[in-house]
Amino acid sequence: MAVEISRRRFLQGSVAMTVMGGMAMTPSDLFSNEKEHGEISITTKTGTGEAKLVPTLCEMCVNKCAAIARVEDGVVTKLDPNPMFPKSRNMLCPRGNAGIQALYDPDRLKYPMIRVGEKGEGKFKRVSWDEAYDAILNGTDKFPGLAKILEEEKDNRSTIFFCAGEGMAEHTFKTFYTGFGSSNWLNHASLCLRTVVSGYGVTLGAYPQADLENAEYIIMAGANRAEAIVTPDTMDFFKRTKGRGAKLICVDPRFTNTAAKADKWLPIKPGTDLAFVLALSYVAIMEELYDKAYVEKYFKGFKQYKNHLYAEGYTPEWAEKITGISAEDIYKIARDFMKHAPKAVYYPGRRSTFAKNDFQLRRAMAIFQALGGGIDTKGGLVFGKKLPLKGHEVVAPMYAQAEGVDVDRAKGGHGYSDCAIVSGGGSWIGFRNRVLEGRSPYPIRGMFLYKHNPMMNMPNTEKTAKFLKGLDLSVAIDTMPSDTVMYADVVLPECTYLERTDPVKTFGGPEPSIAVRNKVLDPMYETKPVIEIMRGLTEKISKPLFEITKKYDEDVQEDIADRGEAEVYKEFDLTIPFKHSQEELNEHAVSGYPGAYEELCKHGVFYPKMEEYFKQVSVNEYVYYPDDKKAYTVRGGKPKTNSGKVECNLVNIAKKGVDPMPTWRKEYEFQVPEGKFRMLTGRHAQFTQSGTANNAMLHDLIHENYIWINKRVAKKMGIKFGDMIEVSSEAGKTRLKAYPTEKIAPDQVFFIHGFGEESKELTWAYRSGGNDNAVIVDEIEPVYGGAVMHSTNVEIRKV
């Protein structure tokens, strides 16, 4: 990224700064332009003198653990766990500790910038915030602005789409989207856990939590909790495995760290989990092992489902041929699960969509879980409670010219033609591909992107690059110069999570609480929190865009004639949601709980009777709620569906061409052509997708990802540990080093997601390992449009 300002890097060895190790550095670029202030030295060694302690919430992964930041002379020198948060229970993992490096990363975005080179080239010039906002509205000689685009599209607001990654401030960004009036919103869900949330949602009425702390028997399929995410429930659960109170069955194609800690590992063929669960359900029902009282009271369509399983012949013997798991193991696991129920959990998982049958798999998992009565109960799946928050004023005007989402012309209805159901987060792949293929019913010309990196997190990177290049206007709000930021026209630098207060959040579960991310330091450089970015942007664009609406919206014209322009404009004023500070909005959100805001400022956490309930009982053990006050059961086991029943047979969904009951189809069978390998991908506890790829502290733990290849196959191919391997598919190619092992089957390969960035502005992440999405083919789960991650067959060769 060639920025037209003086820029120097100060690299000492392989890491620019090791903040927890106490190194002192003098990187002038870290705090400001060297011409303005010269070199600034920072020392991050933790002292023993006076310090400010600020409670906050971590953003290094999705778990949002509570932390206490130690600030000495304006520098964050340490992050400690906050013991007062029931969700994180005095724990902060290595990723959380590395949050300091995110703050002091010399590569972080520092100033607003405008593109001066070709799109994707990474050439920008530094500008003021007002100049950046003006470029978004009026464009430059390199790209058109919103005014020109909306004028040409006659105020069709949907010609601009919005996308966001996961995070507490996503709500703030989405408030802008709501006011803007587009119908096109995309978040990370279709690239993540959309099918699991939806599958459990339509079957049980909600996506529940697994009470791993009290479960006696757990089936963990495809979820590698021992090394993918280190959280308190992960740690508590594994303390009780291997004969110490909880039985763990690991179902995974690879022999993972979770498998190593399990009582039994079942190396299933990728994409065949549905057959496994159908066979488990067959045994539980046909042998009448299920909870008859629960089924009688809370199941809908049970007889149809029973007849369906029997008619289709979903026996363990049938499943053995498909899954590779012996019928004997399937019988035993089904019997053991029901024996321990309701304190038995088929772990729902946080994982992404692995196969095209993923939605039906989640439905089958939810039904099997419910057969044992393990819904809304201690040791099973729990809904828990939430402490409701008050909302604040938003603007949601109706723009007559704004068109709806894509139209399925064949059916004459609204919705995505690529999938049966349009969720709130959309389908990233479906949206991208329709635009590329000219199937969108109206032009998609612009994008506002917040904390999202589709170049790294969406299958078929080559297509994503082509899609981004084709947009007239791209505005990126981010903290790092990611691969996707390189394709932006305007870059708006957000401050890191330690430099901002985010919207207060309520955390549900057996021990509900409210927590807040308090600002630890004032924003460095010229960065801003997203609420201030939105405030400045809407002040610039609100009135000019309303002038365009007046020109093309007859309803608005008539309304102005009746009530006057000033009154009508109040309904279209995009600045309204951002007039108050985040602190003021947070205080209002918790105003229903006396003293809550003061507690959040002081401790970062609040829940009713916290002063009475919270106790330390040992060196690292705390009590938050008395056991009889924990919300393990809130509905007496009753599902949250509209019917109040477990929905076995979804008749209405059949009208959309979706199987109303979980059904196995021939095309789901696992097949790999001779000479190819089924590619698997996954997560690691040290990294959060691509978001932490440039973190020097974490990079020091894992420099790059390696490709797992079966040791016998590697020997035949002359591949040794550390050899460079090219992985290729019809989508593209990537390169990374080899890791021959017996922990994976001969017809499969695996490597961790989140490596292989191509942005040269990322010192540590640039071309460090291989990018899985460069080779994953962009197949779509047909119900909710999720990205299918484990259906690609690849070729490998030593290079």
Residue 18: its pLDDT value, please? 33
301: left (phi over 0), alpha (psi -120 to 50) or beta: left
Residue 43: burial class (beta carbons within 10 Å; 0-12, 13-18, 19+): middle
Task: Return the closest-CA partner of residue 476 out of 33, 61, 112.
Answer: 112
CA distance 488 to 472: 10
The whole-number pLDDT of residue 407 equals 55
pLDDT score recorded for residue 406: 65
Q: Which H helix or E strand runs over 770?
A: none
Closest by alpha carbon to 16, among 106, 98, 110?
Answer: 106
Alpha-carbon distance values, 612 to 270, 514, 594, 632 (Å): 50, 16, 15, 20
- 137 versus 696: which is more confidently predicted? 137
Of the candidates 299, 312, 305, 301, the one whose C-alpha atom is nearest the C-alpha of residue 285 is 305
Pairing of strands 160-164, 123-126: unpaired
- Least Cα distance to 105 among 165, 25, 202 occurs for 25
User: Pairing state of beta strands 513-515 and 217-221?
Assistant: unpaired
Confirm if 463 and 126 have CB atoms less than 8 A apart.
no
Q: What is the 3-state secondary structure (H, E, C) of 728-779?
A: ECCCCEEEEEEEEECCCCCCEEEEECCCCECCCCCCCCECCCCCHHHCCCCE
* Three-state DSSP class for residue 380: coil
pLDDT score of 685: 73
How far apart, in whole angstroms, are the C-alpha atoms of residue 541 and residue 121?
28
> What gap in Å lies between CA 192 and CA 718, rounded to an integer?
36
Whole-number CA gyration radius for the chain: 27
Q: What is the distance between the alpha carbons of residues 22 and 1, in angstroms, rounded to a whole number?
A: 30
How many Å apart are CA 23 and CA 25, to the nearest integer? 7
Considering only CA atoms, which of 774, 791, 700, 699 is closest in space to residue 735?
Answer: 774
Q: Are 289 and 334 in contact (CB under 8 A)?
A: yes
Q: Determine the 3-state secondary structure of 328 from DSSP.
A: helix
Dihedral angle sign, alpha carbons of residues 299, 300, 306, 312: negative
Note the pLDDT of residue 19.
Answer: 33
Omega into 342 within 30° of 0, i.e. cis?
yes
Residue 706 has φ and ψ, to the nearest 5°, of -120, 155
Six-digit token pair at 124? Answer: 């920008």
Is the pLDDT at 25 greater than 70? The verdict is no
Contacts (Cβ under 8 Å, ≥6 apart) of 776: 459, 460, 679, 681, 729, 731, 789, 792
CA distances for 647 relative to 205, 655, 660, angstroms: 9, 16, 10
Q: Is the pLDDT of residue 387 over 90?
A: yes
**Taking all residues of the chain, what is their mean pLDDT, rounded to a whole number?**
90
Find the mean pLDDT for residues 360-368. 97
DSSP assignment of 415-458, as one string? S-TTSS---TT--HHHHHHHHHTT--SS---EEEEES--HHHHS
The answer to whether 133 touches 11, Cβ cutoff 8 Å, is no
- Is 70 exceeded by the pLDDT of residue 37? no
Written as one letter, the residue type at 148 is K
Distance (Å, rounded) from C-alpha 685 to C-alpha 95? 8
In sequence order, what are the residues at sequence separation of 6 or more whose Cβ sits closer than 8 angstroms to the Cβ of residue 308? 661, 663
CA proximity to 29, closest of 763, 766, 778: 763
More confident residue, 194 or 125: 125
Element (H, E) at 316: helix 316-323
State what percent of residues in the chain have pLDDT above 90.
79
What was the pLDDT predicted at 490? 98
pLDDT at position 732, please?
Answer: 97
Percent composition of the chain: helix, strand, coil (DSSP 3-state, to 5)? 35, 20, 50
Predicted pLDDT of residue 584? 97
Q: Rounded mean pLDDT of 327-353? A: 94
Report which secondary-structure segment, H or E, holds 218.
Answer: strand 217-221
What predicted TM-score, i.e. pTM, was given to this entire model?
A: 0.92
Q: How many residues does the chain have?
A: 799
Are the C-beta atoms of 164 and 187 separated by less than 8 Å? yes
Q: Are 274 and 752 in contact (CB under 8 A)?
A: no
The reported pLDDT for the residue numbered 167 is 85
* Residue 297: both structure tokens together: 């009271």
Residue 31 has pLDDT above 70, yes or no: no
> Given its phi and psi angles, is residue 22 left (phi above 0), alpha (psi -120 to 50 degrees) or beta?
left
Contact assessment for residue 414 and residue 441, using Cβ atoms and an 8 Å cutoff: no
* Distance (Å, whole) CA 398 – CA 152: 19
pLDDT of residue 312: 98
pLDDT in tens, 224-283: 888 888 788 888 888 888 778 899 999 999 999 999 999 999 999 999 999 999 999 999
Distances (CA, A) of 393 to 184, 197, 574, 588: 22, 28, 11, 11
Residue 56: which of 505, 488, 360, 705 has the closest Cα?
505
Q: Where residue 464 falls among pLDDT bands split at 50, 70, 90?
A: very high
Closest to 301 in 3D by CA, of 274, 277, 309: 309
Residue 27 pLDDT exceeds 50: no
Cβ pair 537, 516 in contact under 8 A: no
Q: What is the sign of the dihedral through the CA atoms of 625, 628, 629 and 633?
A: positive
Q: Name which of 110-114, 392-396, 571-575 the model is least confident about.
A: 392-396
- Secondary structure of residue 510 in the 3-state scheme: coil
How sure is the predictor about 693, in pLDDT bands with cuts at 50, 70 and 90? confident
pLDDT of 350 over the 80 cut: no
Confidence band for 50, pLDDT divided at 50, 70 and 90: confident
Q: Lowest mean pLDDT: which of 158-162, 385-389, 437-441?
A: 437-441
Read off the DSSP letter of residue 575: T
Q: Is the dihedral of CA 70, 94, 30, 130 positive or negative?
A: negative
How far apart are alpha carbons 403 and 382 in whole angstroms?
40
Tokens for 709? 């290849």
Q: What mean pLDDT is predicted for residues 18-32?
A: 31
Query: Residue 758: is its pLDDT beyond 90?
Result: yes
Per-residue confidence band for 575, with pLDDT thresholds at 50, 70 and 90: very high
Which range is least confidently modeled, 237-246, 384-393, 557-566? 237-246
Which residues have a Cβ under 8 Å from the Cβ of 379 and sit 6 or more positions away? Answer: 211, 214, 215, 216, 342, 343, 344, 345
- End-to-end CA gap in the chain: 29
Number of Cβ within a 10 Å radius of residue 311: 8
Structure tokens at 380: 């099973």
If you average pLDDT over residues 438-467, what whole number do you get?
Answer: 95
Stretch 166-176: mean pLDDT, rounded?
A: 92
List own/partner pairs for 30-33 with CB under 8 A and 24 or more apart: 30/104, 30/106, 31/524, 31/525, 32/525, 33/5, 33/6
Contact of 475 with 489, CB cutoff 8 Å: yes
**H helix runs in 470-595, sequence order:** 530-552, 554-563, 565-569, 582-589
Q: How confident is the model at residue 13 (pLDDT cuts 50, 70, 90)?
A: very low
* H helix runs in 128-231, sequence order: 129-138, 146-152, 170-180, 194-204, 225-228
Q: Summarize pLDDT for 97-154 with one digit per residue, the tens.
A: 999 999 999 999 999 999 999 999 999 999 999 999 999 999 999 999 999 999 999 9
| Residue in this structure with the two tokens 């039904």, named with its chain if needed | 367
Q: Residue 4 pLDDT more than 60?
A: no
Residue whose pair of structure tokens reads 């190619």 in the numeric block: 733
Choice between 620 and 712, residue whose per-residue pLDDT is larger: 712
Q: Is the pLDDT of residue 366 over 80?
A: yes
SS3 568: helix
DSSP 671-699: ---TT-EEEEEE-BTTB-TTTTTT-HHHH
